[in-house]
Amino acid sequence: MEVAACLVLLAALAALTSAVDEKRPLCKAPTSAPRKLEKVINQCQEEIKYALLQEALSVLGETVSLRTALTRNRSKRETFTGEERRIAGCLLQCVYRKMKALDETGFPTATGLVKIYSEGVEDRNYYLATIQGVQQCLSRELQNRNKNPSIVKAEGYSCDVAYDVFNCVSEEIEQLCGTSP
């Protein structure tokens, strides 16, 4: 039974890859994130804002009420600085943690990521592209980690991995489907 399922998956991935070569969009990306995911993202944003504010305030030796501190919004940027990239990665790491998409070491899991990125997706080809993208991106991250095991101890490593995996999976899906997720 498992062999048959693997063969079906391989055949579908082969069909998906050949359609990509023909340069026609094969997948239909969801129009918006599922509500559950949006809720988790908002919770994580608030946690990260609070942590950053607490750190800044402890440096300054001041206190401010949480409510007034968290009400400001900033417009999105297309390109991130190193610090913004790290913060975005920490947000993603928080989402992965809350959605139970991490292993015991804090590294993203394939099943967890596929569940997050494909929640609410109805297009089978998009789902298959997600599986393929997650597998390829996690494989690259594991290769990097195995080549340089000390990198795991570096400050911000888990946030950087979360950002890199998200970016990689998004690019893979875009390449396979011809549209941005």
What are residue 108's phi and psi, to 5 degrees?
-60, 145
Task: Determine the CATH number of domain 2-177.
Answer: 1.10.238
Locate 124 and state its tokens: 């089978």
114, amino acid identity: V
Please list, in sequence order, all residues whose beta carbon lies within 8 angstroms of the beta carbon of residue 18, skipping any fewer than 6 positions away. Answer: none
Domain boundaries, the chain: 2-177
pLDDT at residue 166 in the model? 92
pLDDT in tens, 104-126: 999 999 999 999 998 888 889 99
Up-side HSE of residue 125: CA atoms within 13 Å toward CB? 19
Q: Is the dihedral of CA 138, 139, 144, 147 positive or negative?
A: positive
CA–CA distance, 10 with 7 (Å, rounded to integer): 5
pLDDT in tens, 39-81: 778 788 888 777 777 777 776 765 444 444 444 444 443 456 7
Q: Which residue has the tokens 């089978």?
A: 124
Residue 102: beta bridge partners? 108
C-alpha 23, offset from chain centre? 25
pTM of the complete model: 0.65
